[in-house]
């Protein structure tokens, strides 16, 4: 496994587990039956941190759709440099940081982490064209 694929794997696992805490909160607030029911306008609202975590999860999924193909394309063309490895590692840590600060409601740092993660994706895209 390449180092880029390692970081992709960690990112996929992180993204795949993000639903658990806010779903537990939903069960605590609405009960198991209420959590499994179809959504309704009359549902008891979840905790604010759980709502923010759900938004962070949505954002992680949306960005995984970009990150994963970039890494897979690099793997397919057998291209790896210290910059591609660093970009993948930075992307993972930015996603983890983004999740944490979004959940705790830290707006400016959330945007900074998102932007650095986007730059990491741009590095991967440039590497595909061997610009880096």
pLDDT tens digits, one per residue of 57-81: 999 999 999 999 999 999 999 999 9
Per-residue tokens: 43: 């549902």
Calculated CA dihedral for residues 50, 55, 61, 65, nearest 10 degrees: -170
pTM as predicted: 0.94
Fold topology of 3-128: 1.20.120
Query: For residue 43, what is the DSSP state?
Result: S
Q: How far is CA 125 from the centre of its chain?
A: 18
Query: For residue 105, what is the DSSP state?
Result: T
pLDDT (mean) for 90-95: 98
Spatial CA neighbour of 117 closest among 96, 131, 102: 96
């Amino acid at each position: 496994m390449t180092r880029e694929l390692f970081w992709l794997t960690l990112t996929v696992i992180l993204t795949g587990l993000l639903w658990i805490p806010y779903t537990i909160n939903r069960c605590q607030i609405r009960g198991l039956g209420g959590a499994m029911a179809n959504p309704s306008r009359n549902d008891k609202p979840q905790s604010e941190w759980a709502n923010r975590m759900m938004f962070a999860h949505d954002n992680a999924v949306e960005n995984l759709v970009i990150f994963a193909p970039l890494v897979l394309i690099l793997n397919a063309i057998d291209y790896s440099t210290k910059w591609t490895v660093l970009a993948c590692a930075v992307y993972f840590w930015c996603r983890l940081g983004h999740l944490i600060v979004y959940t705790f409601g830290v707006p400016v740092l959330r945007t900074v982490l998102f932007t650095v993660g986007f730059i990491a994706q741009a590095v991967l895209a440039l590497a595909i064209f061997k610009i880096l």
